[in-house]
Amino acid sequence: MTQAYPIQFKAEMKEKVWGGRALEQFGLEMPDGAIGEGWMISDHPNGLTKVINGEFAGLNLEDIRHRVGKEWFGTKSNIDADTRFPLLIKLLDCNDDLSVQVHPNDDYEKLPKGELGKTEMWYVLDAKPGAKIIYGLKPGVTREQLAHALENNEVMDTLQEVEVVPGDSFYIPAGTVHALCSGVVVAEIQQNSDTTYRLYDYNRPGLDGELRELHIEDSLNTVAFGDSGATYMKTETAPNTWLSLAKSPYFHVEKGIVAAPWQLTTTPESFVILIVCEGEGTLTWENGQETLQAGQCFLLPANLGKYTLEGNCTVLRSTL
Ligand code: ZN
């Protein structure tokens, strides 16, 4: 039987009309082109990630799920033959504005079979001066007002936007109208879903030169009018303590600054995903050690047990 160890994956890179080359700063292998998304840990058919370290090297996350999902992913994952790994972890380079979009919740009747809704959160890794993020409608905007604004090319007037700096954090529940805008690099933790409804795309041609499809009816059906529950926060925190960034039915994400050796442990309920945001360090467990550097993501099995973070780095810890 394979002993539990922190798994690292090769990122699946996705070219996007709004992408760039900023993910190169993390030493990731990149194909040519405007790369918008690096899928770092994925059990989604649109981009399964393959293991690059340890005994499972060469297998993808779906293979791992079939072999050891029940023991390694934890009791809250509810892994059975039809249940995929619950989260999808990405790094995004928003070299241009992303479409204004919304994601459905798990109950939306028109979801493709097997697909989930998408609640997500972002942690800003890098931001050019003045870069913005759109997170939700302005207070009081109704379905009728949004539909009217879409018809009249005035949707930007209905949206709530904020200037961001590295370290800012957003929680975007399903139903929140949102857009990442030009000049930000973010880590994204989300439900394992690839369903997006586009409300507005700046009348901009896609990679093939055609306008990308809009999904106005699905969007209007999906938007949570009133308060969607989206939040935005600054994340200053003391070293070697966890600051909670987002707590949802789907994930709990915390930020920690490693400044002294930090002894931690996994629990039987959930795997742990570590995303290194900046700095360097080491991750040590009973049978081994990995070096940590910005941009790396590790999946720590629920049955790993004790582990220690050392060095000088900032990490995000995601659990169920
Ligand atoms: Zn989104």
Q: Per DSSP, what are the bridge partners of residue 169? A: 123, 233
- Residue 240, token pair as written in the block: 């070697």
Domains parsed from the chain with CATH numbers: 7-233 (2.60.120.10), 242-319 (2.60.120.10)
φ, ψ of residue 131 to 5 degrees: the values are -65, 145
User: CA–CA separation, 253 vs 236, rounded Å?
Assistant: 15
* DSSP state, residue 178: E
pLDDT at residue 310 in the model: 98
Is the model's pLDDT at 28 over the cut of 80?
yes
Q: How far is the CA of 41 from the centre of ligand 1 (A)?
A: 17
For residue range 207-242, list pLDDT tens digits in order: 898 998 999 999 999 999 998 999 999 999 999 999
pLDDT at residue 266 in the model: 98
Instruction: Give the distance between the most distant pair of CA atoms in the chain.
Output: 61
Q: Tell me the percentage of the chain whose pLDDT exceeds 90.
A: 91
- Residue 135, token pair as written in the block: 């997170």
Q: How far is the CA of 218 from the centre of ligand 1 (A)?
A: 15
Q: Per DSSP, what are the bridge partners of residue 311? A: 281
Q: How far is the CA of 261 from the centre of ligand 1 (A)?
A: 35
Q: How far is the CA of 66 from the centre of ligand 1 (A)?
A: 28
The catalytic position among 21, 65, 84, 198 is 198
pLDDT at residue 298 in the model: 98
Q: How far is the CA of 200 from the centre of ligand 1 (A)?
A: 13
Mean pLDDT of 171-178: 97
Is the model's pLDDT at 244 over the cut of 90?
yes
Neighbour-count burial for 199-230, b at 16+ CB within 10 Å, e otherwise = bbbeeeeeeeeeeeebbeebbbebbbbeebeb
pLDDT category of residue 101 using cuts at 50, 70 and 90: very high
Mean pLDDT of 68-86: 89
Strand, helix or coil for residue 51? strand
For residue range 245-270, list pLDDT tens digits in order: 999 999 999 999 999 999 999 999 99
Least confident of 105-114, 143-152, 188-197, 301-310: 105-114
Mean pLDDT of 156-170: 97
User: CA–CA separation, 39 vs 46, rounded Å?
Assistant: 10
Q: How far is the CA of 180 from the centre of ligand 1 (A)?
A: 8
pLDDT at residue 115 in the model: 85
Q: How far is the CA of 179 from the centre of ligand 1 (A)?
A: 7
User: Is 198 among the catalytic positions?
Assistant: yes
Share the mean pLDDT of the chain.
95
